[in-house]
Amino acid sequence: MSSRGVNYFDQNNTLNRLILFMIGVGPYENSKERFVRVCLLTLFFIPLFVHQIYQLYMMDFEMNLTVRWMQLFLPGLCTIITYYTVVYNFTTVKLIYERIMNDYEQLLDDEELDIVKKYNKESKLYMLLIAIIFNIYHTLIIYPSMLSVILYIVGLSDNIQFILPIPVNYISDSRAFYGVLIYELVGLTVLTVIAFITFTTYLMLIQHACNQFSILIMKTLQPFKKKQDCIEQDFYYSGPQKEYDWIVDIINRYIKATQLTFQMSVLLENTGEAIGCCIYIVTSVFLIYINFYIGQKLLDHSNATYMELCKVPFYALTIKTQKLFLFIITRSMKSTELSIGGLFVSSHEVFAAMQSRAFKHVDYCTVVEQRLEAFDLTAHVLFEKETKTTLG
């Protein structure tokens, strides 16, 4: 056990655990407290979503109004579905957290800790970028409402039309308007916080899997000292037992990294089934690309692990170690992939294919539209000629 690893984990994850505890998905939270928080959030959001569904039912179909409604309603719906999926799969979340804690406890030297610190710095950068994006989105939604209220209170303009972040019809009383405004502002803020937490936690889990593969790569070639301008490599673990312990450690680390990825894929599959019909409409291109980027990153780390294992001089090992080494080589030949909803693998190749299909569809629609315009023009010319001939 490594007390340094545990201390580093506590120092860098205290805020994350506190936020997860606040929304009811803390890994060591009492089940009753979690149930109370989830119920309170449910009761808070039910009126908002029920009213939006009712307004959609009563609304006359207009493209601008429908798009505006989808921009506001569907991101919130996807966030809530993702949140309840995490709550429903709380056992899996707890197992993932315990596995991460166990990985930190087994950090043995400064090299491993340096790798973890490197990936934690990247995770913090991702969190900062995502926080900026979500804050901009949140501000764009509430800005018109807050501006109209502030201008009215300050008295800069008398002719002001009050608007709500999420439109609600038939509000004539000022007290009711301010009450609904406060309710919507709180609701949108809570939804933004939940969306930020769930998405950044997901990214940090992928980062942790990547740093485990990096540690595995470092550990694989650690027993071999490379000489300059020489292909030979000397194995410096003296004795069969130390050599055997080395290969067992490599296998255990690989199994842990792949099991963590599998648990995250199961969680993603459950979420994907619930919001599969909404994800293409709601998620922006940037957030979609982030998913494929980190999936490709995980795939690259897995492939790099296999390539590093292939560099190990097989015949320099003892027979006992060779048997175990064949096991880890065979297992690592299959790349560790992040499967999203069981539909496709998260990678640059799949993202490019999806983009290509989207652009082909746009090109097809453009060609059809151009041909229809040409057909209309031809029909118009023929009609004019026929009219002139008839009149002549």
Q: What is the DSSP string of 213-261?
A: HHHHHHHHSTTEEEPTT---EEE---SHHHHHHHHHHHHHHHHHHHHHH
Structure confidence by residue, pLDDT tens digits, 98-142: 777 777 777 767 777 888 888 888 888 888 888 888 888 888 888
The one-letter amino acid at 156: L
Q: Is pLDDT larger for residue 64 or for residue 205?
A: 205
Q: Which stretch, 114-123, 164-173, 248-257, has highest mean pLDDT?
A: 114-123
Residue 191 has pLDDT above 80, yes or no: yes
Calculate the alpha carbon distances from 171 to 17, 33, 75, 174, 268 in Å.
Answer: 41, 36, 25, 8, 41
Calculate the alpha carbon distances from 222 to 173, 225, 247, 284 in Å.
Answer: 73, 8, 11, 43
Query: Cβ neighbours of residue 122 under 8 Å, at least 6 residues apart?
Result: 207
The number of beta carbons lying within 10 Å of the beta carbon of residue 223 is 19
Confidence tier at 333 by pLDDT (50, 70, 90): confident
Confidence tier at 145 by pLDDT (50, 70, 90): confident
Question: What is the DSSP-derived secondary structure letter of residue 343?
Answer: T
Closest CA to 27 of 201, 163, 158, 260: 201
Confidence tier at 281 by pLDDT (50, 70, 90): very low
* Host H or E run for residue 316: none
Name the burial class of residue 267, with classes exposed (0-12), middle (13-18) and buried (19+) by CB atoms within 10 angstroms of its CB: buried
* Host H or E run for residue 51: helix 31-58
Q: Residue 224 phi/psi, 5° resolution? A: -110, 130
Structure confidence by residue, pLDDT tens digits, 349-360: 666 666 565 545
Calculate the alpha carbon distances from 383 to 265, 374, 377, 380 in Å.
Answer: 61, 14, 10, 5
Q: Which of 54-68, 136-150, 315-329 has the lowest mean pLDDT?
A: 54-68
Closest CA to 135 of 187, 195, 184, 79: 195
| Residue whose pair of structure tokens reads 């490379």 in the numeric block | 226
The partner residues of 226 in beta bridges, in order of sequence, read 233
For 207-229, what is the mean pLDDT? 72
Structure tokens at 311: 């560099």
Helix-helix angle 240-282:90-105, to 10 degrees: 140
Q: Residue 158 phi/psi, 5° resolution? A: -90, -30
User: Integer distance in angstroms from the first to the last C-alpha of the chain?
Assistant: 101
Q: Is pLDDT larger for residue 330 or for residue 379?
A: 330
- Could you tell me where the beta strands, DSSP code E, fall in the chain? 224-226, 233-235, 339-340, 344-345
